Amino acid sequence: MRINADFTKRVAVHFDDTPWVPSPAAGVERKMLDRIGAEVARATTIVRFAPGSSFTAHTHDGGEEYFVLDGVFQDEDGDFPVGSYVRNPPTSRHTPAARDGATILVKLHQFDPEDRQLVQIDTTKAGEEPLHLFRDAREEVRLLTWGPGEEVSLDAPGGAEVFVLEGAYRESGEDFARWDWLRLPPGGTFEATAGPDGARIWMKTGHLAEMLNI
């Protein structure tokens, strides 16, 4: 399966315009943002867990990165409420579940194979933004807050992903609202204006240059 797999192109996926697709696990649905592969895939996905749903225990050979958008996500390490940012590195293993339901933004099979750093951050308790969630030689992950009408300019030599947590912005004549996703190719530029209520953004940069060889 290949969804938005040409990393030389700008891609936008709007939450309200994208259907939920059932997963192999009962009660778990997803909106696929990009994907290369079948069930074991390099993938960026919004995943919704119905109350009481879960996956069986599994190992993330290529790592797992997620941000909790709604509800409470759970595994052997405990409860991860809205605003939790987690990186489970390659070779990590867990049994994900959502007793009362949850929605997450998740990225799979996108780590450096040698990465072994576990990250667990409750961003609601982590101080003012911009907030650096993760940074290494190949990528940076941040939370950003833009004020009403703020103009934002960004060069993305290694590509970028921009996900709206709250609020809205306009970029290249296109409006982005809550849980909308934009991917810019390596060498792209981002010129946007925040909406009248501002915007809160999850942004990942620098990690897509390697995809040009696929």
**132: domain CATH number?**
2.60.120.10
Q: What is the pLDDT of residues 96-147, one digit of tens each?
A: 999 999 999 999 988 888 888 999 999 998 878 889 999 998 899 999 999 9
**The predicted structure's pLDDT at residue 213:** 63
188 plus 110 within the same structural domain: no
Arithmetic mean of pLDDT, 14-36: 95
Would 184 be classed as within a structural domain?
A: yes
CA-nearest of 98, 167, 107 to 133 is 107
* Cα dihedral sign, 184-137-67-106: positive
Q: What is the pLDDT of residues 2-12, one digit of tens each?
A: 999 999 999 99
Please name the residue ranges forming H helices in 22-114: none
Domain count, the chain: 2
- Tell whether the model's pLDDT for residue 205 goes beyond 70: yes
Domain that holds residue 164: 127-213
91 plus 141 within the same structural domain: no
53 plus 97 within the same structural domain: yes
38 plus 120 within the same structural domain: yes
- Tell whether the model's pLDDT for residue 58 goes beyond 80: no
Would 65 be classed as within a structural domain?
A: yes
Would 12 be classed as within a structural domain?
A: no
Would 114 be classed as within a structural domain?
A: yes
pTM: 0.95
